[in-house]
Amino acid sequence: MAETRIPRHIAIIMDGNGRWAKKRLLPRTAGHKVGLDTFVDTVDSCSDMGIEYLTVYAFSAENWNRDPLEVSALMELMSRGIVKYEPEMVRKNIRLKLLGDLDRFEKKYRDALTSVEERLSNNSGMTLCICLSYGGRQELVNAFNRLASQGKTNITEADIEQNLYSAGVPDPDLVIRTSGEYRISNFLLWQSAYSEYYFTDVYWPDFDKAELLKAIESYSKRERRFGR
């Protein structure tokens, strides 16, 4: 059998926490709690497999429009989760990078998250990018405004890349979306130009290592031509 080709960078739209909970007559936040466990397990698996970059879509710019109670529960859960998981990320030599408009976060959450990011910034193992208050269009507008403020003309692709939140991170090879939705939802619009997509009906809380391996196997079988 041909050897499995491991993607260098996997990006994931973690979707379906709410429906997972609804199916069990539980509150949506119960789905997010189990989703956090799935996130931690996925980071562990990717790091153990030697994946170099993992990017997850944890909170979109549009998610601010949800019920304020759900938003604050998510903020609390994500910041506590990251703080709790820090020692494990230290052991695994994981570098953390936060992508998005963190200025919209309440100061206590922003400080908690950015201080972990800072402490892990010099690690040399897998890079974990967490998209928070993130939108792909917003990221591009932000990059163009930065270039405009520098008086830049004749803008190149490299100029844009260097001004994205993801500057320095290679483009994702594989983008996974769970929960049976077949949309990009404003995720890594620039970066996913040549990515392979993998969609599964499995809700994010149920996306275990076997499901992750299925996605990698599917990617591994595809031939990427980059338009050639």
Q: How many C-beta atoms lie closer than 10 Å to residue 3's C-beta?
A: 6
Is 17 labeled as catalytic in the residue annotation? no
Judged by CB, which is closer to ligand FPP: 78, or 176?
A: 78
Which residues pair with residue 174 across a beta bridge? 10, 196
Query: In the chain, which ranges are continuous DSSP H helix?
Result: 17-23, 28-49, 68-91, 107-120, 136-149, 157-162, 209-221
Residues that bind ligand FPP (CB under 6 A): 14-19, 32, 35-36, 39, 56, 58, 63, 74, 78, 81-82, 130, 179, 204
Tokens of 53: 């970059």
3-state secondary structure (DSSP) of residue 10: strand
Provide the minimum distance between the beta carbon of 15 and ligand FPP in the complex, in angstroms, as a whole number: 5
Of 15, 17, 163, 171, which residue is the catalytic one?
Answer: 15
Is 15 labeled as catalytic in the residue annotation? yes
Token pair 């290679």 is found at 170
DSSP per-residue string spanning 148-210? HHTT--S--HHHHHHTSTTTTSPPPSEEEE-TT----TTSSTTTTTT-EEEE-SS-GGG--HH
Judged by CB, which is closer to ligand FPP: 98, or 216?
A: 98
Provide the minimum distance between the beta carbon of 5 and ligand FPP in the complex, in angstroms, as a whole number: 27
Provide the minimum distance between the beta carbon of 79 and ligand FPP in the complex, in angstroms, as a whole number: 8
- Nearest residue relative to ligand FPP (C-beta): 18
Judged by CB, which is closer to ligand FPP: 29, or 192?
A: 29
Of 41, 44, 63, 101, which residue is the catalytic one?
Answer: 63
Judged by CB, which is closer to ligand FPP: 18, or 136?
A: 18
Provide the minimum distance between the beta carbon of 89 and ligand FPP in the complex, in angstroms, as a whole number: 11
Any idea which residues carry the catalytic annotation? 15, 63
